[in-house]
Amino acid sequence: MLLEQGTTLRALEPCARHSLRAPLRSCLLQDEQFADLADMSLSGDITVEGEITVPVGAPSPDEDFSTLDEPVRETIMRDLKAVGKKFVHVMYPKKSSTLLRDWDLWGPLVLCVSLALMLQGGSADSKEDGGPQFAEVFVIIWFGAVVITLNSKLLGGTISFFQSLCVLGYCVLPLTVAMLVCRLVLLAGAGTISFVVRLLVVLAMFAWSTLASTAFLADSQPPNRKALVVYPIFLFYFVISWMILTFTPQ
């Protein structure tokens, strides 16, 4: 189908509104504007299947796709849903690129803050403010993530800085769950059994974190250097697990 120069897509308006399951030619023939084109010879009916979204009409001001006019609740819910979807991806690590493509740092921030808050209130001596300080946990998590990212980039990784930060932050989720469980177990008492239970839970979550982040990050490395990237991630989650395991409440 030949269009003369200058024919705008606007002329196709009527046709675009039909779902293009009918052969294109017959669709065109229904419109008088294209009556002249009916004389064109086509080798056959060109059946076009599927749906084509053609930008119909000029963008009118009312239909502007801007998020400024939508209610605040919608904006927040959209971001929350994105964060929630990523949480699910972390808990069931499949090889998907959602975490990498739409990176955001909300989830890591929430996890980091909640972990740091839960690590407060522990002490070695009742007179002192035991437990790692809030700022300490914060700095360790973010500084550790930055170091790992730099390391993987220096080893020739193809992942971007913030994508890597995003993945490492989200994979702290199992450890936050472990912290929650530890606190609950410690409510019941702080004996040997509770220590063993906490140890097992923390070990399991540590393995889960490391495996989840490896599943996302290792693909972006040259294949023979995967071990070099996995080791610092292992150390990083080890330090966080150590902080969780050694937490003793007042």
Partner 1 sequence: ASKAFSLYANIDILRPYFDVEPAQVRARLLESMIPVKMVNFPQKIAGELYGPLMLVFTLVAILLHGMKTSDTIIREGTLMGTAIGTCFGYWLGVSSFIYFLAYLCNAQITMVQMLSLLGYGLFGHCITLFVTYNIHFHSLFYIFWLGVGGLSTLRMVAVLVSRTVGHTQRLILCGTLAALHMLFLLYLHFAYHKVVEGILDTLEGPNVPPFQRVARDIPVVSNALLNTTAKAAALTL
Q: For partner 1, which is the closer residue by CB, 153 or 219?
A: 153
Residues 209-238 touching partner 1, rule: CB under 8 A, are 224-225, 227-228, 231-232, 235, 238
- Give me the least distance between CB of 239 and partner 1, in Å please: 6
Contacts with partner 1 by CB under 8 A: the residue count is: 30
Tokens of 170: 């989200």
Tokens of 51: 């749906």
Tokens of 77: 């819910």
Q: Which residues of 27-55 are buried (b: 16+ CB within 10 A; e: fewer)?
A: bbeeeeebeebeeeeeeeeeeeeeeeeee
- Give me the least distance between CB of 123 and partner 1, in Å please: 8
Is residue 230 within 8 A of residue 177, CB to CB? The reply is no
Query: Rule CB under 8 A: is residue 207 a binding residue for partner 1?
Result: no
Q: For partner 1, which is the closer residue by CB, 166 or 240?
A: 240
Query: Rule CB under 8 A: is residue 146 a binding residue for partner 1?
Result: no
Q: Which residue has the tokens 């989720």?
A: 173
Q: List the x/- string, 98-137, binding to partner 1 by CB under 8 A.
A: ------------------------xxxx-xxxxxxx--x-
Q: For partner 1, which is the closer residue by CB, 23 or 121?
A: 121
Give the Cα separation of 150 and 157 in Å (integer): 9
Is residue 45 within 8 A of residue 22, CB to CB? The reply is no
Residues 13-72 touching partner 1, rule: CB under 8 A, are none
| One-character DSSP codes across 161-185 | HHHHHHHHHHTTHHHHHHHHHHHHH
Query: Rule CB under 8 A: is residue 153 a binding residue for partner 1?
Result: yes
Q: Which residues bind partner 1 (CB under 8 A)?
A: 122-125, 127-133, 136, 140, 150-151, 153-156, 224-225, 227-228, 231-232, 235, 238-239, 242, 246
